Every structure is written in structure tokens, then in C-alpha cells.
Amino acid sequence: MIDIEYIRKQKDLVKENIKKKFQDEKLSLVDEVYELDLKRREIQTKRDNLQADKNKKAKEIGILIGQKEMESADNLKKLVNEMNKEITTLDNDEKELAEKIKKIMMVIPNIIDDSVPIGKDDSENVEIEKFGEPVVPDYEIPYHSDICEALEGLDKESAGRTSGNGFYYLKGDIARLHSAMLSYARDFMINKGFTYCVPPFMIHSDVVTGVMSFAEMENMMYKIEGEDLYLIGTSEHSMIGKFKDQIVKEEELPITLTSYSPCFRKEVGAHGLEERGLYRVHQFEKQEMVVLCKPEDAMDWYNKMWSYTVEFFRSLDVPVRTLECCSGDLADLKVKSCDVEAWSPRQKKYFEVGSCSTLGDAQARRLSIRAKKDKKTYYVSTLNNTVVATPRGLIAVIENNYQKDGSILIPKALQPYMGGKEKIAKK
């Protein structure tokens, strides 16, 4: 949610930003909220003037009573009572307008950074940099689910019976490799100075609407029937929600956290679910990083955070690249975002394994997360980034370490988490 000052002073900037995001249907909302804000402020001024006048008359009543002018005092009391009724009406009108304004402001997209490339959708995202040399071996690499099944590490058929499409059982050394990646990611981020957390896996609706747009919420979140609880789609939701309605001391910033959680997603939309594999599923696990910082430090942290994910995958000998998300591919709360993509030697192309975003003060404004310096408060900036989400990260490691004999070499960084095991091979 942007600051209402943008609407008051820079309507054209807000409209231009909407056009950059190819959401022209929202242009009329800017004028609508501008007029509603004018009315609300007019009512507020009238109410404040009336309150001041009422307070003045209340003092006059005391003087009149002291002078034994009871009839005049009674007449003034009646006038004050009428003023009280009018103030109550104005208060209610102001609250009603404030709610309407908030509802509209929640769907007006955040102001994107000037460096964001302009484009309609993810097909117009821009490659920034490659890390590591992509390799295509001289032997065929099977589909990742076929590799896992051959190593007795995957059972989607049974998951179909218990849970339906989009679920899976991981078994044996493949399941162990999956857990090893998450444990390594945890320790990797702890070594970067981040505090490790395991958050709640369910959150209230006011936290959901605080951390994401309504469109994202509809397409992603599973609601618990009969309760004001949603299953989280990423631990960022819980971790940012942790600071709802809080004021932190400025000297405590930046707050750097890394969190583990299972993640649950409907995966509604154009992509759909992948029938055979593990790339797009309803349930997965993830190590996340979240930062709360001063606004002027946000871009520095953004660049640090995506570089940590690159470093993580390169430590597993997985070639990656970074991809700048264009304006039309940015969710409404995001100021700037980039994807980290891993090399797939089977497909001979890159695929997404992580996403890094800076959201300015949008989430903080929705959730009332502020920092205090001296006697003044301000909204903090929030950022989030994937360290690793698996099974996607698992797919990257499997494909890039697959051998001609059907075995998988375990990257050295993961071997301590696998009991020293160096290879996963057919029994």
C-alpha cells in the first residue's frame, strides 16, 4: 500500500506507475481515492473546528454557572449536546470514508524502482548475469522423476491415492538429500549472521492481506474452513507478520532472519500443476531469508540477499543466472524483484529456483510495522528471498550431478549432512 501523499501530490506519477504495470483498469481508482480523501479531510477539518468550538462553549458554561446565569447555561448546554451529535455523525462519516480509501489503496500497486525494465509479463524479464559454466553431458539425462523412481526415492502413485495430484512421497537417499539441502541452507544463512526461526505454519487473514495482494491471496492460499486461519505459502508471511503493530528501536535494525517452513499453495493460474514431476506442487519445503531495515538501506540488502542464493547454489556446483523481473511480472506490493534460475542440463535451459524482492514500506504500512528514532516513528522497509525451495532445488542438484551409470554424485557441501555419503546409486 503506497502513502496517500503520492495520491495527493503526485497523481500523475501514480497513474504512470499503473500504466508501466499494464493495469490500466486501475487508473480510475486514483481519481476516485483522491476525491474521497478530499472529502475525508474536509469532514475532519469541520469536525476539528466543531470540537474546538464545543470545548470553548463548555468553558463558557462553567463561567455562566459561576455567575448564577442558569438559564443561559442551560441553553448553552443544549447547543453543546447538538454539537456532540454532529461530531459523532462526522466521526462516523470520516471512518466510513477512511475504510473506502483503505480498500482502494490496497489494490493500487506500489511504486516500482526506476531500474525495473518495462514489460507485460515474465516473457519480457531480462537476464542480468550468469554464474558458472552450463554443461550438457554427452549422455542423456532422464526426467528428474524417472531418476528418483529408479533410485527408489519417489512415489507419486501412492501420494495420488492419499492426497491427489500435486503431492508426493520422497524416500530413502533422495529424501535424505532433500533434507540435507535444507539443513545446509539453514547453516549457510546462520553463518551469514541471520537468526534461525521456525514460524507458525498458519496465520490470520489480517496478516495475509498485510503481506500480499488480493490476487496473490486468491491464487495461492488454502483457508482452514470455519476458522480465521490460512496455511502459509511461504514463511515470509509468518515472519513479516511477527512484527505486526510493533515499533522497533532503530538501533535494532537491520533485523535479519532465516526461517524454515513447509509451504502450501493452490497453484491456481496459467501454469497449472505438473502431472509427473516435482517442479510445481501443492506442498514443498523452503529456507527463506527476511530482512527489516531502514528505507535507505533496502537496496543494499536486496543486492546482498540475491547474491547469497547465487553463492548457495554455486557451492553445490549448480550453474545459475539472475533474471530481472519486468514491471508486468511484479506483484503489486513489490518495488523490485529478481529470480535466481538454475541450469537444467536435461532441458538445456534455466529454471526458477528462487526469488528476491524488496517491497519498500508496503507491507510495513499495511501491518503497521514502524521503527522509532528519538520521538519520531517511520515505516521500515521489508525484503524477502529464497535460500532454497525444494524439491526445485533438489531437481537442480540431481540433474547437474547425474552420472551415466544412473547414480547421483553428492556435492561436497552436502556430504556431512548425508553421513559422509558421496554417491546415491541403485541398490
Examine residue 111 and state whether it is found in any structural domain, yes or no: no
| Neighbour count for residue 105 (Cβ, 10 Å) | 20
- The secondary structure of residue 223, as a DSSP letter, is E
Examine residue 291 and state whether it is found in any structural domain, yes or no: yes
Angle between helices 172-190 and 298-314 (to 10 degrees): 140
Backbone phi and psi for residue 129, each to the nearest 5 degrees, phi listed first: -155, 150
Residue at a domain's end among 54, 71, 105 = 105
Helix (H, G, I), strand (E, B) or coil at 280: coil
Residue-wise pLDDT for 328-358, tens only, equals: 999 999 999 999 999 999 999 999 999 999 9
CA 303, 308, 309, 313 dihedral sign is positive
List of residues 6+ apart from 22 with CB closer than 8 A: 120, 327, 328
Residue-wise pLDDT for 189-244, tens only, equals: 999 999 999 999 999 999 999 998 777 787 789 999 999 999 999 999 999 999 99
Residue-wise pLDDT for 281-321, tens only, equals: 999 999 999 999 999 999 999 999 999 999 999 999 999 99
Q: What is the mean pLDDT of residues 104-129?
A: 95
CA 288 to the chain's CA centroid: 11
Q: What is the mean pLDDT of residues 401-411?
A: 97
Are residue 378 and residue 304 in the same domain, yes or no?
yes
CATH number for the domain that contains residue 86: 1.10.287.40
Examine residue 116 and state whether it is found in any structural domain, yes or no: no
Q: What is the mean pLDDT of residues 115-135?
A: 96
Contact assessment for residue 384 and residue 232, using Cβ atoms and an 8 Å cutoff: no
- 270 confidence band (pLDDT: 50, 70, 90): very low
- 274 confidence band (pLDDT: 50, 70, 90): low
| Neighbour count for residue 272 (Cβ, 10 Å) | 10
Q: What percent of the chain has pLDDT over 70?
A: 98
- Give pLDDT, residue 272: 54
Q: Which domain holds residue 21?
A: 4-105
| Neighbour count for residue 67 (Cβ, 10 Å) | 10
pTM: 0.90
Number of H helices, E strands in the chain: 13, 18
C-alpha cell at 182: 535444507
| Neighbour count for residue 92 (Cβ, 10 Å) | 11
Residue ranges of alpha helices (H) inside 106-242 are 144-150, 156-162, 172-190, 205-211, 214-220, 235-241
- Give pLDDT, residue 216: 77
- Give pLDDT, residue 60: 87
Contact assessment for residue 374 and residue 390, using Cβ atoms and an 8 Å cutoff: no
Distance CA 143, CA 29 (A): 47
C-alpha cell at 190: 546462520
- The secondary structure of residue 199, as a DSSP letter, is -
In 58-173, the DSSP E strands lie at 126-131, 154-155, 169-170
- The secondary structure of residue 402, as a DSSP letter, is B
Are residue 98 and residue 127 in the same domain, yes or no?
no
Examine residue 110 and state whether it is found in any structural domain, yes or no: no
Contact assessment for residue 154 and residue 171, using Cβ atoms and an 8 Å cutoff: yes
- 75 confidence band (pLDDT: 50, 70, 90): confident
Are residue 342 and residue 398 in the same domain, yes or no?
yes
Distance CA 346, CA 349 (A): 8
- The secondary structure of residue 263, as a DSSP letter, is E
Examine residue 45 and state whether it is found in any structural domain, yes or no: yes
Are residue 48 and residue 191 in the same domain, yes or no?
no
List of residues 6+ apart from 115 with CB closer than 8 A: 336
Distance CA 371, CA 298 (A): 14
Are residue 307 and residue 365 in the same domain, yes or no?
yes
- 56 confidence band (pLDDT: 50, 70, 90): confident
Distance CA 259, CA 253 (A): 18
- 273 confidence band (pLDDT: 50, 70, 90): low
Q: What is the mean pLDDT of residues 373-391?
A: 95
Distance CA 356, CA 290 (A): 10
Distance CA 290, CA 390 (A): 18
Helix (H, G, I), strand (E, B) or coil at 68: coil
Residue at a domain's end among 58, 76, 105 = 105
337: left (phi over 0), alpha (psi -120 to 50) or beta: beta
Number of domains in the chain: 2
Are residue 101 and residue 136 in the same domain, yes or no?
no
- 134 confidence band (pLDDT: 50, 70, 90): very high
Are residue 173 and residue 249 in the same domain, yes or no?
yes
pLDDT at 68 over 90: no
- Give pLDDT, residue 113: 96
CATH number for the domain that contains residue 195: 3.30.930.10
Are residue 91 and residue 212 in the same domain, yes or no?
no
Are residue 293 and residue 215 in the same domain, yes or no?
yes
Mean pLDDT over each residue of the chain, to the nearest integer: 93
- Which residue, among 127, 117, 15, has the nearest Cα to 328 in the 3D structure? 117
Residue-wise pLDDT for 160-187, tens only, equals: 999 998 899 999 999 999 999 999 999 9
Amino acid occupying residue 215: A
Q: What percent of the chain has pLDDT over 90?
A: 84
The CA angle 182-195-352, to the nearest 5 degrees, is: 40
